[in-house]
Structure 1
């Protein structure tokens, strides 16, 4: 029998309340939750800090940023994965959905390599038990990409695949619906002339008209037997939300308009908003502000998008609008539920002892300690 870990003198954020009390961890699970202080030998004083559930991040592109820390510098994949894991754990993220893109539209060369190497690295490293966070695969399917079926088919049945999203990053669509802005952005990124970018845009839109719907149906049919959570990406209209819901797509990642976010709420579709959008005070792409969606009662989940450290700060920022338990649930209980992970995300006896100790200083939350299944990892 393992020795109990007792955490006392903590402000414990429960699903529907906040108490000052004590937690007992045993055999990787939460064994007891109680109000008041423990005087048991070995009880650890949390000094009045918050204890929240371990963060569940259902969408992070952070691995891509470790693989390519500068525009012309590609980092060894496995080393990048180790750095990514450490950053997630230090941010209080105990469950990570590594969002890997499948499909190249001609502007993000190297993403397919990151996907292939990421799957291999995660498969190997998951088996070692050395990673601080638990990593799962979120496969982001770029529907207008020619190479999508050939990339997805070999990994669709991989045991670590825990979420699928369908997306369309075509110019003039969704996140990139401002076409002049898109062309200027791609010209800066590639050093191409505006005319050359426009030629690529014309090619992509013609191809989209031919293959997007075929690929969408193929992806949904290919993964249907696994009963995975499926998300759409960058929804902009109520019609898109309704169509997706009819096809069993019950998560909307980063809706780009208030119309889409409100429609998702009306259809019982979970809306994911980006933590950087909240911390920065708005979308870097000129889309709807996440805090405005929260004020409308339509924000269910916060994901790191591309900054794991933003998760906890974003949740506490949202607490002024939603109340603290509900705001913490956007990074814990709600993503766990949407991802069909019923053993985590809440502080409750019998669930995984995935926990984060948070101290507040000058208005910012600082992660002090992190436990995954009762073992301290930070």
Structure 2
């Protein structure tokens, strides 16, 4: 969930993370959840309220990951501002003038708050005991900065250069399952398949499409000629990256989180799900 909001301007958006976390933990206390849940805070440094929002969380919230995000137009994910223009004009019906004002606002926010917010996000992640992830690293210099912060995972590096630099520094590379299935990035950045072919892809993320995880992992298994290796991108590899030593593989003493599926026309069809050894679906 995103922390760091912009409550002013035409493209404004408000805080929601603390309230959603309270609802999630209430469901956990009521034993209403079928699987294990942790929090992943996506810290937007190009914002107005990041420090206040992150201060509302603590170690008791089981924050597993904090991602350092910077969606300032003209760099990282939005190096091609036309892609951002298509998105914002389509979603928010912005005119050309309104979009230009939105871009100017974001750049001003980054200039005023970005460095302070980035430092605060790193500091708060340490307070939570969370694993740090970078987001949309594009250059080797950005990867080097991430390494200096103690980043363990690189979410969606936008270039092969950044993915190679991450691997060289022992940073696990995450790409979106929809990117792999689609055959490319919706933002025009490096394709997950290209990184997989180069041996630079470690972990798959659902990227807002949970059903894509199994399909993409199976596709990788088929492409790599090793189904176990493909499935590990959504099981053992992410568990290891975030320090969850009680899951991620089928072994004595582990949680026994399991799925059963078969292949129909090369695509997986889910048949059963177990959590902690109990069948839940």
Cα deviation, residue 210, structure 1: 2.0
Change (3 A) 1:207 1:111: closer
Higher strand share: 1
Unaligned runs of 5+ in 2: none
Supply the distance in 2 between the matched residues of 1:223 and 1:359 (Cα, whole angstroms): 39
Match of 1:8 in 2: none
- The Cα offsets for residues 153-207 of structure 1, whole Å up to 9 and x where unpaired, read as 0113333211111101111121111012312321222112111110121121122
Supply the distance in 2 between the matched residues of 1:225 and 1:147 (Cα, whole angstroms): 18
Q: How does 1:249-328 map to 2 (within 5 A)?
A: 249-322=151-224, 323-328=226-231
Match of 1:351 in 2: 254
Match of 1:155 in 2: 57
Is 2:148 the partner of 1:246?
A: yes
Whether the 8 Å contact between 1:184 and 1:194 is mirrored in structure 2 is no
Match of 1:228 in 2: 130
Match of 1:134 in 2: 36
- The Cα offsets for residues 230-286 of structure 1, whole Å up to 9 and x where unpaired, read as 101111111111111121012100111111111111110011110101111111121
Supply the distance in 2 between the matched residues of 1:107 and 1:178 (Cα, whole angstroms): 21
Is 2:2 the partner of 1:101?
A: yes
1:123 pairs with 25, 36, 48, which one? Answer: 25
SS in 2 for 1:368: strand
Higher helix share: 2
Change (3 A) 1:253 1:111: farther
Cα deviation, residue 227, structure 1: 3.4
Is 2:82 the partner of 1:180?
A: yes
Change (3 A) 1:238 1:221: same
Supply the distance in 2 between the matched residues of 1:171 and 1:259 (Cα, whole angstroms): 20
Cα deviation, residue 324, structure 1: 1.6
Match of 1:215 in 2: 117
Supply the distance in 1 between the matched residues of 2:251 and 2:124 (Cα, whole angstroms): 36
Match of 2:267 in 1: 364
Is 2:54 the partner of 1:146?
A: no
Matched positions, count: 278
1:340 pairs with 243, 248, 252, which one? Answer: 243
Whether the 8 Å contact between 2:173 and 2:203 is mirrored in structure 1 is yes
- The Cα offsets for residues 119-156 of structure 1, whole Å up to 9 and x where unpaired, read as 11111011112211211100110012111111110113
Q: Which has the higher contact order (CA 8 A, sep 6+)?
A: 1
Match of 1:377 in 2: 280
Whether the 8 Å contact between 2:10 and 2:98 is mirrored in structure 1 is no
SS in 2 for 1:367: strand
Supply the distance in 2 between the matched residues of 1:107 and 1:347 (Cα, whole angstroms): 50
Unaligned runs of 5+ in 1: 1-99
Supply the distance in 2 between the matched residues of 1:282 and 1:237 (Cα, whole angstroms): 19
Change (3 A) 1:338 1:108: farther
Whether the 8 Å contact between 1:183 and 1:198 is mirrored in structure 2 is no
